[in-house]
Amino acid sequence: MKRKDAAPLSSILDAFLESLRIPHVAFLVALRKRWPEISGPLVSRNATPLSLRNGVLTVVVRNHAWAQELRMSMSTMIGRIRETVGERIPVSDIRFTVGSLDSAGEAEVPSREEPPFPAGPDPEGLSAVADPETRESLRALHRRSRGK
């Protein structure tokens, strides 16, 4: 049975995250999802967005050579981000940091020891998110924003 007043989650996600005072999370999730389109297949295998704070996007890269290469094309990449994901949360600068791409990806997925979500009601309303990867990414980002 379908409710007449039901709306797709994607249409209300930004407002929901803004109510939690974390609108940048929706932007970061969209950015990560579309990263291969923004950066291209080769770059996306060697670099991944990690965080966004005060307009500065931090991207983890595999090694110093990739960091140097991407620094030289930073303005082009900022333009591609604006074209692809929009300018609602503006990216004014990109910081490239060398690190493990595996740990960057794991940052958004809870570890096995951690319960998938705190017991009790679902205050974030994320149980309705159909895509499990997106749901867990949003939950992990929300937990980090609360300092857990």
pLDDT in tens, 117-140: 444 345 556 666 677 777 777 777
What pLDDT, in 10s, does the model give residues 39-75?
999 999 999 999 888 889 999 999 999 999 999 999 9
Q: Which phi and psi angles does 95 have, rounded to 5°? A: -110, 125
More confident: 7 or 85: 85
CA atoms within 13 A on the CB side of 99: 16
As a whole number of angstroms, the distance between CA 96 and CA 90 comes to 17
Count of all residues that appear for the chain in the document:
148
Cα separation, 45 vs 62, in Å, equals 9
* Tokens encoding 101: 């791409």
Q: Please determine, for residue 116, whether its predicted confidence score (pLDDT) is greater than 60.
A: no
Instruction: Give the global pTM.
Output: 0.59
Which residues touch 38 (CB under 8 Å, ≥6 apart)?
A: 31, 77, 80, 81, 84, 85
Q: What is residue 87's predicted lDDT score, i.e. its pLDDT?
A: 76
d(CA 134, CA 117): 14
Which residues 6+ apart lie within 8 Å of 58 measured at CB? 49, 50, 51, 52, 94, 95, 96, 97
Q: What is the CA radius of gyration of the chain?
A: 16
In degrees and rounded to multiples of 5, residue 93 shows phi and psi of: -155, 155
The three-class DSSP label of residue 20 is coil
